Amino acid sequence: MDAIFLQILNGLDKGSAYALIALGLTLIFGTLGVVNFAHGALFMLGAFCAVTLQKLFGLSYTVIDETQKDFLGNPLKVEVSYLEGWFGPEIGGALADWSVPLSILLAIPIMVAIGFVMERGLIKHFYKRPHADQILVTFGLAIVLQEVVKYFFGANPIQTPAPQAFRGALDFGVLVGFEPGAVIYPFWRLIYFLFAAVLIGAVFAFLRFTTFGMVVRAGMADRETVGLLGINIDRRFTIMFGMASAVAGLAGVMYTPILSPHYHMGMDFLVISFVVVVVGGMGSLPGAVAAGFLLGILQSFASMNEIKAVIPGIDQVIIYLVAIVILLVRPRGLMGKAGVMEE
Amino acid sequence: MLGLNKRDTRFLIIVILLTLFTPFLLQPFPEESALAQFNGGYPDLMAKIAIFGIFAMGFNILFGLTGYLSFGHAAFLGVGSYAAVWMFKLLTMNVFPAIIVAVLVAGLFSAVIGYISLRRSGIYFSILTLAMAEMSYRLAYSVLTPITNGETGLQVRDSDPRILDGADAAQYPNLFGLELSQSWKLELASHVFTFNVGFYFCAVVAIVMFYISLRIARSPFGLVLKAIKSNQTRLNYTGMNTRPYTLAAFVISGMYAGLAGGLMAVMDPLAGAERMVWTASGEVVIMTILGGAGTLLGPVLGAGAIKYLENIFSKINENVLHEWFAFLPDGMEDAVIWLIARFTGEGWHLTLGVMFMAVVIFLPGGLVEGGGRIAAWFRRKPAAGAGAGGGDGDGDGDPEHHPKPTPRIATLGD
């Protein structure tokens, strides 16, 4: 029982990442009707926002410290980061320690801006072209973004630790009545799940309870009619693109302590996110979220040793197997609307 | 000739000549001249161009003719490679069993995957093939290690049984004893041309495959495939079952990919799972689009262009650039070199991505369309000049667009 519980927990953090990326993909597909192969790259750019902030906070200058001497009696040169110089060691150190959560503040404007530029500069011209062209041009864009990041940050993964306070693990089992030590769960993964839940809730609330969201939903249902009512639906969809880009970016920012960011991570997540979107149902936002968590949890169950002993290799292919079965049996996906992209 | 009309025969002959004279065409600059690094006439690269040309030709039958965008074609290439290396290990180092088995295994594998994936079309088809290929890739790395030898890759060893080979048979891939790595050099007025058995073997296979794809495109079967691309629903309404046709196209293009994989193993008897990763499938899509999807020669041109540029661009490093731009003033030289260095050497993938985006945005028909546009531009110019020079008052050289008003009423009146 506790083993099953642990696997569910393990699946949640990966599932949250899948759900967030798939949510953004579905937003873009549902509003603009564009299949965005560059969405994984947006996730990766978000992660590198965290890396950038960490590097910025780590910038330092040298001072000659008279109180410390090396073995020859000369004063030592000490590296002091600008932050500590400006705010004193305590606040400066705390800021550097909290660089990952703080990068959210950096990532939101940057990712929204990237989303706007991408939509206005490139995607706009591809509304009327076939899906294959959209896939191809965004695939090319993903390669370009990836190579640009590789130039600035190198090809190796970069460590971005979580704040000191969240580095340990939590004996989660005790809280729900298992024996101590049975279910140990790292803090940061719990935080990632909570963060994802809040973010998903915020997106849904935004679409459900604001006038802006209402117009966007109306536009998703019938773009032309909304346009004829005198509403500039294109502008709103551009804003939604920026929002989807920010969601992917934030998913990337918070994922950095779990997986050290490297330039190729977007491509790795992209394939699975597409599978998630398809399983959930093309164009269905709740479907994307549900399928994200479902596939994350299934994947963690499949990597249990007991299951791997019965069906070897199942942990590698479970997601794809589920996707193939779903596509063949129920092409509209788990929660897709009838008639939307059912070909 | 060979069941082709006059125009296609001429086309085929041109392609054959181009292929056979590749060692000359890709070696235009004299040795030891400053431009020698643009020479691409070495066997390894030429064979690669031929192999990827075959791969792209096959992909084009599915994507260009039938309109199904598969994102998992590299899986068939990988399977073909594995099958070929296994034949080298078990039977003989002669290339024919290896290639034939590679094609058959890839065909069988693509029949299974095609049967499942072709139940859907459009974006779903792309994602299904992507999922299948990713699954094969992951299985090749994990559970199937006894067959694929995991991350190390499958290799030929001395201790392999090779039951058809005698004790003193060749240890390298050969054509009935003629080793594929053998090559001859011809020196002609400071040019060095290399003729390699392996390249010519690949080239002959590529020509045969080109002929087959030409015949497919011109056949009634090819016509059905084009009809499927332009409007499948209408075809269904006319009472035609399109599934067998799409499946046949899928299997044929899978066999092309298997053949390409087999040839890769022939040129270098080694097979690894990284050939099956989905970005490798993306590469063949790029080649086909760059050359021109749906045209016959386009995919081959695309494959050639990408492999050639990859080789050349990767070789250009900052030292070479410094030599080139030494004539510029210092500050400008550094700036120019910095900019170009981002796109060359390590930055080749950036060039690839930019090039790919540019082609999809500005030239959806690829290089072939670009060539056509340039040709049309040249053709129009002399014609317009002749019209103006004729000075017939109307100033038109193009009768189709400006038909002369025929004085119908006047003639009636007379």
All residues of chain A having their beta carbon less than 8 Å from the beta carbon of residue B279 are: 267
Q: Which 3 state secondary structure label does DSSP give B62?
A: helix
State whether residue A307 sits within 8 Å of chain B by CB: no
Q: What was the pLDDT predicted at B382?
A: 65
Per-residue pLDDT reduced to its tens digit, B226-255: 999 998 889 999 999 999 999 999 999 999
Whether B367 is covered by a domain: the verdict is no
pLDDT of residue B383: 54
Total of domains in chain B? 1
Please compute the mean of the pLDDT values over residues B265-273 and round it to a whole number: 85
For position B411, what pLDDT does the model report?
42
Residue ranges making up the domain that contains B44: 6-277
* Residue B282: pLDDT band with limits 50, 70, 90: confident
**Three-state DSSP class for B157?**
coil
Contacts of A34 (CB under 8 A, 6+ apart): A28, A123, A126, A127, A134, A138
- Whether B122 maps to a domain, the answer reads yes
* Chain A CB within 8 Å of residue B306 CB: no
Predicted confidence (pLDDT) at residue B307 exceeds the cutoff of 80: yes
- Above 70 in pLDDT, residue B1? no
Closest CA to B268 of B33, B43, B63: B43
pLDDT recorded at residue B219: 92
Contact predicate B5/B163, CB 8 Å: no
What angle, rounded to 10 degrees, do the helices at A2-32 and A39-58 form? 110
- The confidence band for B164, taking pLDDT boundaries of 50, 70 and 90, is confident
Domain presence at residue B79: yes
Q: Which of A133, A317, A323 sits opposite B364 (nearest CB)?
A: A133
Q: Tell me what pLDDT residue A341 has.
A: 57
**Interchain proximity A327–B342, CB inside 8 Å:** no
**Residue B395: predicted pLDDT:** 42
Nearest-10 Cα torsion for B155, B158, B161, B164: 100
Percent of chain B with pLDDT over 70: 90
Q: Which chain B residues are within 8 Å of A311, Cβ to Cβ?
A: none
Yes or no: say if B282 and B55 are a contact pair by the CB < 8 Å rule.
Answer: no
Look at A3-7, B137-141, B326-330 and tell me which has the smallest mean pLDDT: B326-330
Name the strand (E) or helix (H) holding B185: strand B183-188
The per-residue pLDDT for A175 is: 73
Decide if B193 is inside a domain.
yes
**Quick one: pLDDT at residue A338?**
67
Would you say residue B35 lies in a domain?
yes
Over chain B, what is the mean pLDDT? 82
Q: What percentage of chain B reaches a pLDDT higher than 90? A: 28
User: Tens-digit pLDDT profile for chain A (343 aa)?
Assistant: 777 888 888 888 889 999 999 999 988 888 888 888 899 999 999 999 999 998 888 888 887 777 777 777 777 777 777 877 787 777 887 888 888 888 999 999 999 999 999 999 888 888 888 877 888 899 889 989 998 898 888 888 888 888 887 887 777 777 777 777 777 788 888 889 999 999 999 999 999 999 999 998 888 888 889 989 999 988 898 999 999 999 999 999 999 988 889 888 888 888 888 888 888 887 788 999 999 999 999 988 888 877 777 877 787 788 888 888 888 888 788 887 765 555 5
pLDDT digits (tens, 9 = 90+) for B357-409: 888 888 888 888 888 888 888 887 765 544 444 444 444 444 445 445 544 44
Q: Any CB–CB contact under 8 A between A271 and chain B?
A: yes
Residue B413 has pLDDT above 50, yes or no: no
- Tell which wins on pLDDT, A231 or B313: A231
Q: Are B244 and B258 spatial neighbours (Cβ–Cβ below 8 Å)?
A: no
User: 3-class DSSP state for residue B270?
Assistant: strand
Pick the range with the lowest mean pLDDT from A53-67, B139-153, B179-193, B196-210: B179-193
B318 at A interface, C-beta within 8 A: no
Q: What type of residue sits at position B132?
A: M
B126 touches chain A (CB under 8 A): yes
| Chain B nearest CA to A206, separation (Å) | 29
Q: Are the beta carbons of A328 and B116 separated by less than 8 Å?
A: yes
Q: B72 to chain A, minimum CA–CA distance in Å?
A: 12
Cα B315 to chain center, whole Å?
A: 22
Q: Does A323 touch chain B (CB under 8 A)?
A: yes
**pLDDT band with cut points at 50, 70 and 90 for residue B17:** confident
Q: Which residue has the tokens 């000659």?
A: A64
Query: Which residues of chain A does B338 touch, with a Cβ-Cβ cutoff of 8 Å?
Result: none
Tell whether A212 lies on the interface with B, counting CB pairs under 8 A: no
Name, in order, each residue with C-beta under 8 angstroms of B304's C-beta and a sequence gap of 6 or more: B49, B52, B53
Greater model confidence, B343 or A142? A142
- B360 to chain A, any CB pair closer than 8 A? The answer is yes
Q: What's the confidence (pLDDT) of residue B16?
A: 87
For B110-115, what is the mean pLDDT? 94
- Between B262 and A81, name the one with better pLDDT: B262
Domain at B158, CATH number = 1.10.3470
Number of helices and strands in chain A (H, E):
14, 4
Shortest CA gap A191–chain B (Å): 30
Is B396 part of any domain? Answer: no
**Can you give the length of chain B in residues?**
414
In a domain, B190, yes or no: yes
Look at residue B153 and give its three-state secondary structure. coil
Domains in chain A and their CATH numbers? 2-58+100-329 (1.10.3470)
The reported pLDDT for the residue numbered B167 is 67
Predicted local confidence at residue A221, as pLDDT: 83
CA B54 to chain A, closest CA, distance in angstroms equals 21
Q: Letter for the amino acid at B18?
A: L
